[in-house]
Copies of this chain bind each other. A is one copy, B any other.
Amino acid sequence: MERFRHRAADELRPCKIHRKFQKYPAGSVLIEMGNTKVICAATVEERVPFFLKGTGEGWITAEYSLLPSATGTRTQREAVKGKQSGRTQEIERLIGRSLRSVVDTKALGERTIMIDCDVIQADGGTRTASITGAFVALVEACATFYQKGGIFPVKDFLAAISVGISADNEPLLDLCYEEDSTAMVDMNVVMTGFGKFVEVQGTGEGRPFDHQELNSLLSLGEKGCRELISYEKDILGSQLVWLVGREG
């Protein structure tokens, strides 16, 4: 089956990151992966959760939400239902954990960085786009309080992408909603600039998968993350790129 707009099986959708998208947060981007659009904001708060008080360490936590109007059929607002769904909380935990993996919480000091990922339009891959976008907002935010000569809290680059095996058994990179909803196997891969895995979450939605299939999915995921990290560097510009991984 040919992909929409003749996209190759190992080709990302057009990715665009708009920096400084909102006025108030320390970091804020709009990320577009094809028709998927997410506002990722990073707010710096000069306090930490109680379990870190007095430790000198900081914290990063993430929240995720879909605008009701972001999906093909309107999604009910979680504030109206009075609780977040399991899916929402699972995604929030994934985003927070992924970002923390490239952050030096000592270098952060006793600060909390709140990451808000609000999906404006959803066409597959919203959680991975959220991670990629949030990474850029996080770097923006850390630069606002970084003091020259110190350790920059963000140690390495980070990107995330979805991969999967289609109904006709083809491994695909960066699934849109239609591809995702018919995929046999579905995997999210989060990787660092150094080429290591932070998260690998593979699910046999339609059927189980074997070791070889898992390897082909990981290769696609690596390719996608590598390309996204390269784009992140373009967007951040040399001054911010220079900061990532700074040890003083």
Which residues of A does B touch, CB under 8 Å? 22-25, 28, 35, 39, 41, 43, 45, 63, 65, 67-74, 77-90, 92-93, 97, 101, 114, 116, 118, 120-121, 123, 191-192, 194-205, 207-211, 214, 218
- When all copies of this chain in the complex are counted, the total is 6
Q: How far is the CA of A73 from the CA of B164 in the complex (A)?
A: 40
Q: Which residue of chain B is the closest to A204 with respect to CB atoms?
A: B198
- Among B84, B86, B200, B214, which residue has its beta carbon within 8 angstroms of that of A79? B84
Contact, CB under 8 Å: A70 / B22: yes
Q: How far is the CA of A74 from the CA of B199 in the complex (A)?
A: 29
10 tightest Cβ-Cβ pairs between the two chains A and B: A86-B89, A41-B69, A196-B208, A78-B79, A79-B79, A200-B202, A43-B74, A90-B90, A25-B69, A69-B116
Which B residues touch A121, using CB under 8 A?
22-24
Which B residues touch A191, using CB under 8 A?
208
Contact, CB under 8 Å: B71 / A63: no
Given contacts A63-B68, A71-B24, contact A201 B204 (CB under 8 A): no
Given contacts A69-B25, A93-B90, contact A204 B199 (CB under 8 A): yes
Contact, CB under 8 Å: B22 / A120: yes
